[in-house]
Structure 1
Amino acid sequence: MLLVLNIHPSRRVDLLTEQKLTFDQPIDAWGYTDGFGNACTRIVAPPGLTTISSEFVIYDGGEPDVIPRNAIQHEIKDLPDDVLVFLLGSRYCDTDRLGDFAWSQFSSTPLGWPRVEAIRDYVHDHIAFDYQKADPLRTAFGGYTDRTGVCRDFSHLAITLCRCMNIPARYCTGYLGDIGVPFNPDPMDFSAWFEVYLGGHWHTVDARHNTPRIGRILMATGRDATDVAISTSFGASLLTRFEVITEELKTAN
């Protein structure tokens, strides 16, 4: 199995305790860095039930996502070589099926961040969030036609529309606790959002929540959900239990 359950290397400097995966039985496991710079784990899982867990404390500045209002859109010829892949179609981001729509819908919007905002707002209003309508086979075009889904569907559609408009966009997964927002009684989960490359930097965008959030902890980035799946099994497997808890720790002054 391949596991993507570690925080992103860019956040290791913020760790206040060690972050590692633990197993409830002896497991052959070793780490590696994938082609996108994510910290991943390979394991050989024995037959039977295996529990994989991790618990850690990490520092976050408590500032909401930055809004880069003046970030410019690059000409394709000026993009770094390693960014070009995030203009291409991928497993869940079927740009070939949404290109005509994207240009008819967004070609009149200003280049750069205003165009990203227009795409983000459109996706936020177009898809209705519903855990019961999650579908691991749904692509961006499926999200566009079904108009329902979960955070990954918001991200896939927004990423695809950005790529159609020549804006590099990549899929992100990580922790996003209910910090600084009204209480949510639903079970916690890992969250999906995306990043766009403008003005020489990657910038966070969240089409599902459509508002800057606090306490976003990145785990991994990739072309789409395929590259950052929490587990990829080479053989039969069944996820019998899944729990994510992200809480703000109150510290004394």
Structure 2
Amino acid sequence: MHIKIGFDIELGVTAPTALIYMLQVHPSRAADIVGAESITISPPLVTDHYRDLFDNHCARVHVPFGVSSVRLRNEAVVYDTGWADPVDYGAQQLAAADLPVATLPFVLPSRYCEVDSELLQFAWNTFGNVTPGWHRVQAICDWVHNHLRFDYQRARATRTALEGYREGVGVCRDFTHLAITLCRCMNIPARYVTGYLGDIGIPPVPYPMDFSAWFEVWLGDRWYTFDARHNTPRIGRIVVARGRDAADVPITMVFGVNTLQRFEVTTDEVSP
């Protein structure tokens, strides 16, 4: 299948500054882009492109004096197999001593994932007797999915996994942070993923499209996709960025006062 993706984001600024955006399709899906992405910046501004420590596409926009808003737009078509997230009930959890060293940063605490907190003992009390591997991760997803209440009106950019656990409410990033933290408490490497996820293969959603957050865990010899928010295999995920948590993968970040003036996201199946 082919999926049309895109965004139209406008940020108001009050002084010369720099704007970082992380909005291009992740290099791991570059071969699936039909043609090329078409990112435009209005007004045209000097932009530096680079890769971060997690191999995400990043860009820094230089915003000079006299510019009051910056508008970012993109359109692209991406090929996708149309297959749902793979399920492997036999995927094994490795002992900490046997994990590839590249996965170790995803077992440690991070900005929004407080592994070294009361969640550590809670995780072992709750999931310690669950079969290690796929079944344990799925049990964590089931628990988070039922414990948190999804509510856009209660979104808060500073909410951590521990705060989400205590408050019992959040949006997709909060579901993801809590599930990641519980996995890490059980010595399972887990990393944060942000990207496009439309309503392909499910009834149309009644709210505006947005970027989504899910996570990946290392089991056996590879990363597997899990999603505590939706808690079911989905079709058409397109990764934009990966990191330890949301602090590593901001969609946009402005160094100074700014206001969000426009935010539209597109992800629809289209005819090839």
TM-score range for the pair, normalised by the shorter chain length: over 0.9
> What is the total number of aligned residue pairs between the two structures?
251
User: For 1:77, which of 65, 72, 97 is the aligned residue?
Assistant: 97
Instruction: State the partner residue of 1:52.
Output: 72
Instruction: State the partner residue of 2:140.
Output: 119
Instruction: Measure the CA separation in 2 of the matches of 1:88 and 1:77.
Output: 14
Is contact 1:123–1:207 with CA below 8 Å preserved after alignment? yes
- Divergent runs of 4+, >4 A: none
By percentage of residues, which structure has more strand?
Answer: 2
Instruction: State the partner residue of 2:53.
Output: 35
Instruction: State the partner residue of 1:169.
Output: 190
Instruction: State the partner residue of 1:93.
Output: 113
Q: Deviations over 1:112-166 (max 9, x none)?
A: 1110010010000100111111011110011111111100000000000000000
Instruction: Measure the CA separation in 2 of the matches of 1:20 and 1:245.
Output: 14
Superposed counterparts of 1:71-220, under 5 Å: 71-97=91-117, 98-220=119-241
- After TM superposition, give the deviation of residue 237 of structure 1 in Å: 1.7
SS in 1 for 2:116: helix
- After TM superposition, give the deviation of residue 90 of structure 1 in Å: 0.6
Q: Deviations over 1:54-89 (max 9, x none)?
A: 100000010000012111111111112221000011
Instruction: State the partner residue of 2:3.
Output: none
User: For 1:9, which of 27, 32, 37 is the aligned residue?
Assistant: 27
SS in 1 for 2:50: strand
Instruction: Measure the CA separation in 1 of the matches of 2:253 and 2:243.
Output: 15
- After TM superposition, give the deviation of residue 17 of structure 1 in Å: 2.4
Instruction: Measure the CA separation in 1 of the matches of 2:44 and 2:112.
Output: 35
Instruction: Measure the CA separation in 1 of the matches of 2:259 and 2:35.
Output: 31
TM-score by length of 1: 0.97
> Which gives a bigger RCO, structure 1 or 2 (Cα 8 Å, sep 6+)?
2
- After TM superposition, give the deviation of residue 21 of structure 1 in Å: 2.1
SS in 1 for 2:260: coil
Is contact 1:173–1:191 with CA below 8 Å preserved after alignment? yes
User: For 2:87, which of 67, 87, 101 is the aligned residue?
Assistant: 67
Instruction: State the partner residue of 1:26.
Output: 44
- After TM superposition, give the deviation of residue 240 of structure 1 in Å: 1.3
TM-score by length of 2: 0.90
Is contact 1:6–1:20 with CA below 8 Å preserved after alignment? no
Instruction: Measure the CA separation in 1 of the matches of 2:111 and 2:138.
Output: 24
Instruction: Measure the CA separation in 1 of the matches of 2:75 and 2:271.
Output: 17
What is the letter of the counterpart of residue 157 of structure 2?
Answer: P
Instruction: Measure the CA separation in 2 of the matches of 1:19 and 1:60.
Output: 15
Instruction: Measure the CA separation in 2 of the matches of 1:193 and 1:20.
Output: 25
SS in 2 for 1:172: strand
Instruction: Measure the CA separation in 1 of the matches of 2:206 and 2:132.
Output: 39
Show structure 1 runs of 5+ residues with no match: none
Show structure 2 runs of 5+ residues with no match: 1-18
SS in 1 for 2:37: coil
CA RMSD of aligned residues (A): 0.9
What is the letter of the counterpart of residue 70 of structure 2?
Answer: T
SS in 2 for 1:132: helix
Instruction: Measure the CA separation in 2 of the matches of 1:45 and 1:88.
Output: 36
213-222 vs 24-33, greater mean Cα deviation: 24-33
Instruction: Measure the CA separation in 2 of the matches of 1:88 and 1:131.
Output: 29
